[in-house]
Amino acid sequence: MFPPGIVALAFVGMTRVSGPVFPVVELQARWVAAVFAGRAVLPEPGVMRREAERRIQAARAIGDDQMRVELLPYLDDIAGRIGAKPSLWRHPRLLISPVSARDYRPKLREP
């Protein structure tokens, strides 16, 4: 989503997912908004490049499309970066029902 070392540029929706695309795009957009607003910080460019290369090599090793992501792990990864990862203890419905972006809400701070 974020090209390493290029400030203020992000690509939303440029992935392939087996499942609903709208939750993916919404969480990507939330992450972009958080980064651009200064509420989330990206890793260093070198770390980002290594992670991208690792993902590309893993996809090539199994003959998979390097743009494809696994729906739930990908959503959980993004949600974890913006403080919106749901707890299965508090939301057990996630184990048996379709995923929705509404399931990934930021944790509210206690007063």
CB 66 within 8 A of CB 60: yes
The pLDDT averaged over each successive group of 10 residues in the chain (111 residues) is 92 90 92 94 94 92 88 89 79 69 65 43
- Domain assignment present for residue 36? The answer is yes
pLDDT at position 108, please? 53
Q: Is residue 1 part of a domain?
A: no
Characterize 36-56 residue by residue with b for buried, 16 or more Cβ atoms within 10 angstroms of its Cβ, and e for exposed.
eeeebebeeeeebeeeeeeee
| Residue 97 forms part of a structural domain | yes
Q: How many CB atoms lie within 10 A of CB 33?
A: 14
- Using alpha carbons, select from 52, 69, 93 the residue that is nearest to residue 18: 69
pLDDT given for residue 106 in this prediction: 72
Is 9 within the bounds of a domain?
Answer: no
What local confidence, expressed as pLDDT, does residue 110 receive?
Answer: 44
Asked if the structure places residue 4 within a domain, the reply is: no
Q: How many domains does the chain contain in total? A: 1
pLDDT at 48: 94
Confidence at residue 24, expressed as pLDDT on a 0 to 100 scale? 92
User: Could you tell me the pTM of the whole model?
Assistant: 0.80
- Alpha-carbon span 27 to 38, nearest angstrom: 16
**Which domain does 40 fall in, by range?**
16-103
In a domain, 11, yes or no: no
